[in-house]
């Protein structure tokens, strides 16, 4: 039967976080990434205010699901949950811990982060779970198994601390202490001595830790990776006498290096209360000096000074070390996205709709045919229907950064309903976003009817200070074409003549001569091709085309598919439910401090 440490090293690392502590969760994810894990160990977070929280995994972002309580964790995730990280307050720790182990009886253990857990609660947790699970705390920094598990703030709370302490590398020295702060100091000291940590447990500084020192030492004794133990203790309590007893009974045979702090207590007339609940001398044998003497007599290495303690670490056997090297610069310069979203349509895999002058028969296009019949009040050709169908497919989404998607997502994050959120997104459609399709159609009609060269038309519009709708893109440029434009342009091959499309391309030649970003964009190519299709395939006269432009018919072919994309972004935000959106202060143009300086 595998020991707990063997199970963890074999992959039993799934953590359910109870409560909210983003800094610790991010540190766990950084540990996982530096350890080379394929996926984060944090399975979910018990937080009733949202459905997901955003973190980094390496340089990419991940959304960790949130649940109202432990019983709400879905069945699909439950088999992976092996550990609890309880970050709730001291008064709530008992109830949530009991709920966790009742829901996940096959878990391996957990960590109680809070200080000041009522002692009646702590003793009851010992009675219920002390013999079955490994539970660090209350009042500690958690459990670490190098390269396999980081449960809590143990080892540090940022990626650089984890890297410096070499926690991604399996080691041979177990680190144990009641003190959370000193646990982290010892981990750093072990790596500084050229060794690596096999595992570490911060027992907890309260009077009644759930898992006692003897249990941790037995774990170290049975662990094949562990060759030595490093321990930090202090005055008060009787933990060190457990070490003495185990050494004398040969239950602990591996070398143990101990430092016991608190000799300064002898300088005062009365005993002093140190930081932890039990760090107070109640009897003579609880003094730091008495404990050191007892440990030495039992065979432990117990130096009188901390420099001597560090020197003793240097004398421990030096294992064969192969540290993983990771470039930390990308981790240290990462910045979170403002809104969590995905691209609804993959623009890198735009399909081909027209081949060798013929339609590719991929679908019946029934919806597009019904839409065109509704908008025009007549049946239309298969070529026009196919073009509209593919416009719909390509324009469902263009990423979450565009203004309409942003407005939709912010409204969803504010708790608004679907119709309100959709309306918020649709209201951004205008001459600078989406609404340019209609104005591009007006431009191609006007330009082709003017019978002047494209260069003169562009010059005329420029002198008048007017924008050329259908021209220009923020992302694409000459040499980096918009794949949607390339796909739709193939429909020109189905026409005998395409004067509007030709004029738009002539304008593009002029504008790209001025700036490589001034290409024919998807609004422009849609407008041009639809004008040509309506004229040639549907027999619509120029006067009727002008009427359609005046009625904003061409914008409808953007609004219809993009409404689907906005709804998709709305539903995604509702699934994630990251809470009310607030623009980060550092993105504001005018800082408050700058305002004060101005005064």
Task: Please state, in angstroms and as integers, the Cα–Cα distance from residue 569 to each residue in 67, 175, 180, 404, 577, following that order.
Answer: 21, 48, 43, 10, 12
Q: How far apart are CA 340 and CA 227, in angstroms?
A: 46
Q: How does DSSP classify residue 585?
A: G
Q: How far apart are CA 57 and CA 394, in angstroms?
A: 31
Catalytic annotation on 546? no
Task: Identify the burial level of 183 via C-beta atoms within 10 angstroms of its C-beta, where 0-12 means exposed, 13-18 middle and 19 or more buried.
Answer: buried
Q: How far apart are CA 538 and CA 384, in angstroms?
A: 8
Give the closest residue to 216 by CA, choosing from 296, 140, 281. 140
Q: Locate 430 and state its tokens.
A: 């205008």
Q: How does DSSP classify residue 300?
A: -
Out of 21, 111, 276, 498, pick the active-site residue: 276
Q: Is the pTM of this model over 0.75?
A: no
Domain limits, the chain: 351-576
> 381-408 b/e with 16+ CB inside 10 Å = b?
bebbbbbbbbbbbbbbbbebebebbbbb
Task: Please state, in angstroms and as integers, the Cα–Cα distance from residue 413 to each residue in 269, 340, 571, following that order.
Answer: 61, 11, 10
Q: What's residue 281's pLDDT?
A: 42
Question: Tens of pLDDT along the chain (599 residues)?
Answer: 689 999 999 999 999 999 999 999 999 999 999 999 999 999 999 997 788 999 999 999 999 999 999 999 999 999 999 999 999 999 999 999 999 999 999 999 999 999 999 999 999 999 999 999 999 999 999 999 999 999 999 999 999 999 999 999 999 999 999 999 999 999 999 999 999 999 999 999 898 999 999 999 999 999 999 999 999 988 777 789 999 999 999 999 999 999 998 665 554 545 454 554 444 444 456 788 888 999 999 999 999 999 999 999 999 988 778 887 888 888 888 988 888 887 666 666 777 778 777 887 766 778 898 899 999 999 999 999 999 999 998 899 988 888 999 999 999 999 999 999 999 999 999 888 888 999 999 999 999 999 899 999 999 988 888 888 999 988 889 999 888 999 999 999 999 999 999 999 999 999 999 999 999 999 999 999 999 999 999 999 999 999 999 999 999 999 999 999 999 999 999 988 888 998 888 777 655 555 555 54
């Amino acid at each position: 039967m595998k020991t707990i440490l063997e199970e963890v090293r074999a992959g039993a690392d799934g953590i359910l976080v109870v409560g909210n502590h983003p800094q610790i969760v991010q540190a766990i994810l950084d540990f996982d990434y530096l350890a080379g894990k394929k996926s984060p160990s944090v399975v979910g977070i018990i937080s009733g205010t949202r459905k997901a929280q955003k973190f980094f995994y390496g340089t990419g972002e991940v959304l960790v699901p949130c649940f109202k309580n432990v019983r709400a964790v879905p069945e699909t995730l439950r088999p992976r949950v092996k550990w609890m990280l309880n970050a709730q307050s001291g008064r709530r720790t008992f109830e949530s811990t009991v709920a966790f182990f009742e829901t996940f009886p096959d878990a391996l253990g957990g960590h109680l982060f809070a200080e000041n857990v009522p002692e009646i609660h702590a003793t009851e947790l010992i009675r219920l779970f002390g013999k079955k699970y490994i539970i660090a705390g209350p009042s500690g920094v958690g459990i670490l198994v190098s390269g396999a598990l980081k449960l809590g703030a143990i080892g540090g709370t940022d990626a650089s601390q984890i890297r410096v302490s070499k926690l991604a590398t399996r080691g041979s020295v177990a680190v144990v202490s009641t003190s959370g702060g000193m646990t982290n100091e010892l981990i750093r000291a072990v790596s500084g001595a050229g060794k690596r940590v096999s595992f570490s447990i911060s027992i907890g500084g309260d009077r009644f830790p759930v898992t006692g020192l003897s249990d941790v030492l037995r774990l170290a004794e049975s662990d094949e990776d562990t060759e030595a133990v490093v321990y930090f203790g202090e005055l008060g309590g009787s933990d060190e006498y457990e070490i003495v007893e185990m050494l004398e009974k040969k239950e602990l045979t591996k070398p143990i290096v101990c430092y016991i702090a608190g000799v300064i207590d002898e300088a005062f007339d009365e005993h002093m209360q140190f930081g932890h609940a039990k760090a107070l001398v109640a009897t003579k044998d609880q003094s730091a000096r008495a404990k050191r003497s007892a440990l030495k007599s039992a065979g432990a290495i117990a130096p009188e000074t901390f420099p001597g303690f560090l020197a003793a670490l240097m004398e421990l056997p030096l294992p064969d070390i192969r540290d993983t090297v990771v470039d930390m610069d990308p981790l240290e310069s990462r910045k979170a996205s403002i809104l969590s979203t995905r691209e609804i349509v993959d623009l890198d895999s735009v399909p081909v709709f027209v081949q060798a002058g013929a339609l590719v028969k991929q679908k019946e296009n029934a919806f597009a045919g019904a839409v065109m019949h509704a908008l025009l009040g007549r049946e239309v050709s298969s070529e026009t229907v196919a073009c509209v169908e593919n416009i719909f497919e390509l324009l469902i989404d263009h990423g979450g950064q565009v203004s309409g998607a942003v407005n939709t997502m912010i409204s969803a994050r504010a708790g608004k309903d679907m119709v309100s959120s959709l309306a918020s997104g649709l209201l951004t459609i205008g001459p600078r976003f989406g609404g340019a399709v209609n104005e591009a159609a007006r431009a191609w009609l006007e330009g082709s009817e003017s019978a002047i060269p494209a260069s003169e038309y562009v010059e005329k519009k420029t002198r008048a200070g007017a924008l050329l709708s259908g021209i220009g893109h923020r992302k694409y440029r000459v040499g980096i074409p918009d794949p949607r434009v390339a796909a739709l342009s193939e429909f020109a091959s189905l026409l005998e003549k395409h004067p509007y499309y030709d004029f738009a391309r002539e304008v593009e030649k002029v504008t790209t001569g001025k700036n490589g970003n001034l290409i024919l964009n998807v609004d422009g190519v849609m407008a041009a091709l639809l004008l040509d299709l309506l004229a040639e395939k549907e027999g619509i006269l120029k006067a009727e085309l002008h009427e359609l432009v005046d009625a904003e018919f061409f914008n409808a072919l953007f609004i219809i598919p993009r409404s689907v994309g906005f709804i998709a972004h709305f539903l995604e935000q509702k699934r994630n439910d990251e809470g009310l959106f607030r623009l980060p202060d550092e993105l504001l143009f005018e800082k408050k401090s700058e305002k004060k300086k101005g005064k």
